[in-house]
Structure 1
Amino acid sequence: MSDLSRHLPLSARPRVDESGVSGDWRTAVADVVASAAALEPTSAAAAARFLAVAGLDREFAGLPLAEVATAVRTGSRRRIRVLADALRALLELAGDRAVAIPPVIGGAVALYASTRMPFERRAALSGTAVHATDAEWTFGRGPVREAPAREILDFVLGLSDTPPPAPTR
């Protein structure tokens, strides 16, 4: 029986320290809010819209975004859903402006959002792997669809109707 277990997918992995793995995304959410603050929203309405889309308006209505970032960083645990909402709000606020998105945040949100998007969007990516050409993340299986991370995130977060280009055969 012990010989068989060596060939099972999970038992053959090399041992690594996983003590730092957590489901708490508060630091990442705080980084996204800080990025929004750095964009200097042109009005209080733009900042309020960011907080509403990010789902943070009930807790932090009326506060400057820099203070919200600090409060989130030192506050309670945040789930990946909150990170996805915050990143969507950041991309919406940024519009055509470039925004630096760390690969860990972009990849985690892309994977999470790809499982939550409407059926039509999931069908567009079905049976393919999606690879960010400017970041180190890929999700899915099959022929590879490649696009910049921002374009992939725009599609999976519902900000664009254009999926990553289909693989050429």
Structure 2
Amino acid sequence: MSDLSRYLPLSNRPKRDESAVTSTWNVELAEVLTALTAVLAPLPDAAWATPSRRPAWSVHDVVAHLAWRLSTSRGERWRTSARSLAEQGFSAAAAELAIARRAAASVDGTPTALVARLTELRDAAASGSPGAGVGDDERERDDTVQTGISALAEAVIAAADLAATLDVPIAVPERASGAVALRRALEAPTEIKAVTRGRTLAATDADWSFGHGPVLQGTSAEILLFLYGRSDTAPRPAPMA
């Protein structure tokens, strides 16, 4: 499913006006990038080498990959990924890391430059410039920020990863965290689906839940980190009433 907004609201909360629910993720992406840049801008250069929650990835790698992902069209991403996969012996993990490091090396990949690039992408998303609201599975343009659900997912998991890595809060809109969690739950690897199948996932710090069966709960970030393989700690069963 490329557009999960049709499934919102995600929980069985009381009915309310959902007229603001659309397939456009510009606003949410801009909010996530605003929160990210606020944390990254004052970060000492040495902290950018801190290992992230993704094995072998540093803070710098995570940010460089995010900047590349949000500013690269689907066709170019496919070509780059295919080439990197072949170069890295068809290891998907190694291929993605190589892309992140190559992207940083191809431009001024200093922390200051990466923060500036995320700021530019934030401004493009916030402005709603032509092409900025187009989903990843529809028409895309090389000269605009990508703001489909999969692009939003990259920004949301990067925020969750860096917040846990740096031990700082990075605010993510509830609608964004819920939609990204639902999308990932539908596409997660078998070992993660084995934990979540036949269960309801519920965020304890946001107004969303989805699924059927006994409730597994955690904060939005905890659920996202588990679903994306950044944490081995699964959501926990809800206390018995």
Q: Secondary structure at the match of 2:234?
A: coil
Shift of 1:99: 2.1
| TM-score normalised by the chain length of structure 1 | 0.77
Q: Stretches of 4+ moved more than 6 A in 1?
A: none
Residue matched to 2:149: 80
Shift of 1:114: 0.8
**2:168 and 2:152 mapped to 1: Cα distance?**
20
Whichever residue aligns with residue 63 of structure 2, its letter is: F
User: What runs of 5+ residues in structure 2 fail to find an aligned partner?
Assistant: 1-15, 50-58, 74-106, 108-112, 134-146
Residue matched to 1:9: none
Residue matched to 2:189: 118
- Between the aligned residues of both structures, percent identity stands at 35
Report 1:13-162 matches (<5 A).
20-41=20-41, 42=43, 43=45, 46=59, 49-53=62-66, 55-58=69-72, 62=113, 64=116, 65-74=118-127, 75=129, 76-77=132-133, 78-94=147-163, 95=165, 96-162=167-233
**1:66 and 1:47 mapped to 2: Cα distance?**
16
- In 1, are the aligned partners of 2:161 and 2:225 still within 8 Å (CA)? no
| TM-score normalised by the chain length of structure 2 | 0.56
- In 2, are the aligned partners of 1:51 and 1:89 still within 8 Å (CA)? no
Q: Secondary structure at the match of 1:24?
A: coil
Shift of 1:51: 4.3
- In 2, are the aligned partners of 1:117 and 1:156 still within 8 Å (CA)? yes
User: What runs of 5+ residues in structure 1 fail to find an aligned partner?
Assistant: 1-15
Shift of 1:102: 2.1
Aligned-residue CA RMSD in angstroms? 2.9
Structure possessing the higher relative contact order (Cα contacts under 8 Å, 6 or more residues apart) = 2
